[in-house]
Amino acid sequence: MNISITINIEGIVQGVGFRPFICNLANSLNIKGRVCNDSRGVEIVAEGSESLLSEFIELIKSKKPIKSEITLFEVRRDSKLRGYEDFSICKSKISHISSAIVPVDSTICQNCLNEIRDKRDRRFDYPFVNCTDCGPRYTIIKSLPYDRKNSSMDSFVMCPSCQREYEDSSSRRFHAQPNSCPKCGPKLTLYKSDNRVLATNIEALDMCAKLLKQGSIVAIKGVGGFALVCSSKKSATIKSLRARKRRASKPFAVMFRSIYEIKKCTIMSEDEERLILSYERPIVLLKKRKSHRLEKFCISSEKIAPKIDRLGVILPYSPLHVLIMDRVKIPLVFTSANISGTPIVKSKEELKERLFGVYDFYLDYDRDILHSIDDSVACINSKNPLLLRRARGFAPCSFALKGSFLDEVLCVGALQKSAISLCKNGTIALFPYIGDLGEVQSNDYFEKSIYLALELYRVSPKVVVCDLHSGYYSAKWAMEFAKSRDIELLQIEHHYAHALSLMCEHKIESEILCITWDGTGLGSDGTIWGGEFLEVGELGFSRVGHIDRFKLLGGESSIKEPKRVGLSILIDIYGDEIFNLNAPFMKNFSDDELKVLYKMHNNSINSPLCSSIGRLFDGVCAILGILIKPTYEGEAGLMLESLYDESIDKWYDFKIEDGVIYYKSIFKELLYERDIELAATKFINTLAYIVYEFAKDRDLPCGLSGGVFQNMTLCRKIASLFEKDGMKLFQHSKIPCNDSGISVGQAYYCYLRDKKEKRCEMN
């Protein structure tokens, strides 16, 4: 006897080929009914014998499309049969509660790749090929459910051949929403910077490749925005890109044609290889090979990533990139089209407005990018990927929790590397990396991201969470927002939020000792923190330790002039003896400068106290004379890592008393150190031993969070010390340890708070 059931599935089930999969599966089992997207996910009505239907359910779970993820699977028996004659995909149903997860943009799949390289295929050389397994998603979505008419493909009408594929359940393009071909899809146009059209479609590809090889800088519209692209072999071009983009030495990423070519330039583990080849296609940070080998393949590695031993590499991820790489056949410098820290440019109008003069040509196409998104950045930290920037391919994403939130919440994160999160039901949704707030464009993008997120997820927050630092743009925005909507405002201490983000990643709800080290954040005692040891309980934390504080001479200007950090600590050690010091480092100061800074220090004029490890890194580099003017965040750490020698297990003396770590005597030794590699190694080892010594007598699981732990060398050293003693160490992987993870920590606070509240009600 036949029965009818309704199945509701939630999770990542839209834009990943889920409905075609269901339809094919049902047909193969001779099950009748229908499937459609709704705003929660997918709804299936299936009719057949009880045994067939249970087989159907099992197969859905075990054979689901690779990129799908099921967070909820509900089966209900219907009261009566509707008597379907076949199995079909029907129109999306829209209801008011949306919990469907927005699908992410996906790298070109092998089948599509074969087609664009096959001369006989109708999509040969077609830069916008896609199928149910691959193509743009988040960047072209207007609203959910994910259907063609709700995307920026709605202005393109499918030709009869494409329409046939779209309707044919045996086709790879069955219900592939952005389906198109050279006849009916988006068109490519190459322009000169003065907006003159030079070529279209295939001619545009050919000409673009030629220009790149000749040494031009071309802005190329990719999946989430434009990238500035040029030859990696022409140092003069790279130099002019740096000058035009006003980016002195911050490393550029390089796009390679194949993994084989990447291996010629870098040293790569199997885990790193897997990450580079993954569907998400992030930029992966690898160790460079010795420069003479590099020069042969990727000539200007010193121009691309000056003075550091890392190289960010990426493989082509969109069909357009593949076709360009196939033509140029050399690695290309590949960097987001933006001014550092601001969001990536997504239209030609923005390009002209914000980056005119930076590029010589631009390659555009006529499908709109509705939401810009940057490339993701990741590396491998002892076998596990560590996401440094969660963007294209990885975001938006959601983390399921064991309980659920009492109210819907909006979390706005911190200031730099901004990213926002939403809380609804039992999940935290993290949105793509925004950039550093402060600039008008970033602030605008921040606000747009919030309204987009609220709309896509149909959230109307009852609580808004921000950083304790009321001067942050995000915090000011949150205060206004709370006031205008008359909802609760919560401010969470920065390092506590870092710790919470780590706890969220590992679903930790009980006590943990979290070492939170970063650049700067406002502590709950009003001073600047950044070298903290926090014991985090069920709800709340206590600061059980921190590094001995020092004065930031001139406050913020110490970040731009790290020699001030070095000097400040030397004054702590030597007092007025500083004027008699005869070390090379002291030559960085004129007599007058020294007098002024000494006075600032002595009288505490504009010299806030801080305990930041990030600043300490700067100070060490300054004293060693390797970094006088940093031009990007994290530069000091990267430089010291480049000098690190794994075979040396020496460190400097330090002392821990009442939770305070005394280390300043290190600077005395650094002052006269001639072996820079030894000094860098000993310094990093010292930090690792500090963590280890602090943690080892406390009977608590231990974790690392904060931007400093982007330093893989330091993480590895700490992990090895812990491992020797069989001590547990929690580290970040999916949630960035830097400030992009802060909003998740803020969200997790609300989760723990709600949980506690519910428990109280029960008692």
Cross-strand partners of 364: 189
Please count the residues of this chain forming the interface with Zn ion, following the rule CB under 5 A: 10
The yes or no reply on residue 512 touching Zn ion (CB under 5 A) is no
Beta strands in 270-408 (DSSP E): 283-288, 310-314, 332-336, 361-365, 377-381, 384-389, 397-400
The yes or no reply on residue 518 touching Fe ion (CB under 5 A) is yes
Parallel, antiparallel or unpaired: strands 226-231 and 332-336: antiparallel
Q: CB 124 → Zn ion: shortest distance, Å?
A: 14
Contacts of 749 (CB under 8 A, 6+ apart): 465, 490, 492, 496, 497, 500, 539
The yes or no reply on residue 262 touching Zn ion (CB under 5 A) is no
Pick from 567, 414, 391: nearest CA to 478: 414
The yes or no reply on residue 131 touching Zn ion (CB under 5 A) is yes
Residues 160 to 179 in contact with Zn ion, rule: CB under 5 A: 162
Residue of 2, 8, 24, 37 with catalytic role: 37
In the chain the first and final C-alpha atoms are separated, in Å, by 49
Which of 46, 116, 141, 181 touches Zn ion (CB under 5 A)? 181
Pick from 687, 732, 734, 730: nearest CA to 707: 732
Q: CB 183 → Zn ion: shortest distance, Å?
A: 5
The yes or no reply on residue 159 touching Zn ion (CB under 5 A) is yes
Cβ atoms < 10 Å from Cβ of 87: 25
Give the x-and-dash track for 520-549 against Fe ion (CB under 5 A): -x----------------------------
Question: CB under 5 A: which stretch of 6-14, 72-80, 134-142, 496-504 binds Zn ion?
Answer: 134-142
The yes or no reply on residue 115 touching Zn ion (CB under 5 A) is no
Amino acid, res. 579: F
The yes or no reply on residue 246 touching Zn ion (CB under 5 A) is no
| Conformational region of residue 651, where left means phi above 0, alpha means psi within -120 to 50, and beta covers everything else | beta
The answer to whether residue 114 is catalytic is: no
The yes or no reply on residue 400 touching Zn ion (CB under 5 A) is no
Q: CB 615 → Fe ion: shortest distance, Å?
A: 12
Q: CB 707 → Fe ion: shortest distance, Å?
A: 5
Pick from 480, 471, 473, 522: nearest CA to 498: 522
| 678 alpha-carbon distance from chain centroid | 33
Which of 52, 184, 594, 719 touches Zn ion (CB under 5 A)? 184
Question: CB under 5 A: which stretch of 225-233, 570-578, 626-634, 732-740 binds Fe ion?
Answer: 732-740
3-state helix, strand, coil in the chain (%, to 5): 35, 25, 40
Hey, CA dihedral for 263, 266, 270, 271, is it positive or negative? negative
Q: CB 259 → Zn ion: shortest distance, Å?
A: 19
Per-residue tokens: 596 = 């002024």
The yes or no reply on residue 493 touching Fe ion (CB under 5 A) is no
Pick from 676, 641, 699, 416: nearest CA to 530: 416
Cross-strand partners of 536: 512, 541
The answer to whether residue 247 is catalytic is: no
Q: CB 628 → Zn ion: shortest distance, Å?
A: 50
Residue of 2, 8, 19, 173 with catalytic role: 19
- Please give the C-alpha separations between residue 460 and each of 131, 397, 410, 423, 492, in angstroms, as whole numbers: 34, 19, 8, 10, 21
The smaller minimum CB distance to Zn ion, of residues 109 and 223, is found at 109
Question: CB under 5 A: which stretch of 16-24, 155-163, 225-233, 672-680 binds Zn ion?
Answer: 155-163
Which of 387, 739, 741, 751 touches Fe ion (CB under 5 A)? 739
The smaller minimum CB distance to Fe ion, of residues 125 and 518, is found at 518
Please give the positions annotated as active site: 19, 37
Q: Which residues bind Zn ion (CB under 5 A)?
A: 109, 112, 131, 133-134, 159, 162, 181, 183-184
Write out the residues near Fe ion by the rule CB under 5 A: 518, 521, 739
